[in-house]
Amino acid sequence: MMNKRAILGMLSIAAALAAGATSAADDAMVKKDLTAVIALQGLPCGQVTEVKTLGENDHMASCQDGNRYHVFINAQGRVVAQKQ
């Protein structure tokens, strides 16, 4: 009985760790994506250091150099990076 509990506990910890790792990887992907988008628009940023997700394909990105951009897809289907 104790063994089963111990195994279940370890499994739940492993799952939590895996979820955390996935989330961190996703976060890194989003930062990389936004960094590329801002660079493609020719805007100053360096690297995106912090992201606040406002909705689907709608983010507030904080840059290494202190700039902040609202990155979203407008009604025309264009990716827009608006300096805040």
| Residues in touch with other proteins (CB under 8 A) | 29-30, 32-34, 36-37, 40-41, 57, 71, 73, 77-79
Under 8 Å CB-to-CB from 43, ≥6 apart: which residues?
A: 67, 69, 81, 83
CB of 33 to other proteins, least distance (A): 3
Reduced to 3 states (helix: H, G, I; strand: E, B; else coil), residue 54 is strand
Closer Cβ to other proteins, 10 or 25, answer by number: 25
Q: Are 48 and 5 in contact (CB under 8 A)?
A: no
Give min distance, CB of 23 to other proteins, in A. Answer: 16
